Structure 1
Amino acid sequence: MENAVRKLFERYESFFKHSLEGNSDMDEVASLYASDFIAASPAGVMTGKNDEQLKQVMAQGYAHYRAIGTKGMRISHIRLSPIDEHHCVAHVSWSATYARTDQNDTIIDFDVHYLVQKLDGDAKVFGWVSGDEQALLKQHGII
């Protein structure tokens, strides 16, 4: 399970990098997710399907990240909490770099907790829990 999850997040990080460069393949990004998912943050809880709407929302999200000056998004650490032989929580520590015109680049570290399922050899994200991204960006003067 651990190797499959680490490979999943290596792909995730790579797709994020390509998307920040404007070279995103939304089919590849969608391949990281299960057919259905749940997301929770201080803004609430939502559910969704891995469909064309997800791809559209993801493309808009990457465009927003580029617009606010996101230069890089890299994983600094992954810790797994196994649930059973097919499921775990992947606690992923990210480090985001934002370009600033009026000062040095800003680096923000944050964690996201992903619910991961491994079936037939493939690990996929079926949910995540995150903090208040907008408040964190405001606190650091990004938005």
Structure 2
Amino acid sequence: METSVRRLFERYESFFNRSLAGKVDMNELASLYASEFIGAAPAGVKAGKNDDQFKQLMAQGYEHYRAIGTKEMRIRNVRLSQIDELHCVAHVAWIATYARKDQPDVTIDFDVHYLVQMLNGEPKVFGWVSGDEQALLKKHGII
């Protein structure tokens, strides 16, 4: 399971950076997620489906990241907490780099905890727990 989950997040990192470059493939994004999922952040908990609306919202999200100057997202570390033979929590430490007008780039470290399930031998994200992204971006002068 560990090797498969690490490869999943390598794909996710690669997809994210291609999307920041304007090369968005929403079908590729959809392939990383289970058919239904949950997300939790300080704003609350939401459930959703891996459908056309999800793809549209994610495309808008990547457009927003580009608009605020996100240059790159890199994984610093992936640590797994296995729940059983089919489920784990992937604790992913990210490093984000942002361009700012007339100032040096800003690098921000943050963590997201992804719920992952093995489906037909392939890992899929079915949920995530994240911190307050907006507060972190404000703290670092990004927004």
Range of TM-score over shorter length: over 0.9
2:67 counterpart residue number: 67
| Per-residue CA distance 1:31-79 (angstroms, 9 max, x = gap) | 1000000000000000000000000000000000000000000101000
Provide the TM-score with structure 2 as the length reference: 0.99
The one-letter code sitting in structure 1 at the alignment partner of 2:85 is: E
Mapped partners of 1:12, 1:96: distance in 2: 14
Gaps of 5+ in 2: none
Mapped partners of 1:119, 1:138: distance in 2: 38
Seq. identity, %: 75
Deviation at 1:102, TM superposition (A): 2.1
Mapped partners of 1:119, 1:23: distance in 2: 27
2:97 counterpart residue number: 97
The one-letter code sitting in structure 1 at the alignment partner of 2:129 is: V
Confirm whether residue 87 of structure 1 aligns to residue 87 of structure 2: yes
Confirm whether residue 124 of structure 1 aligns to residue 139 of structure 2: no
CA RMSD after TM alignment:
0.5
Gaps of 5+ in 1: none
1:24 counterpart residue number: 24
Deviation beyond 6 Å, 4+ runs, structure 1: none
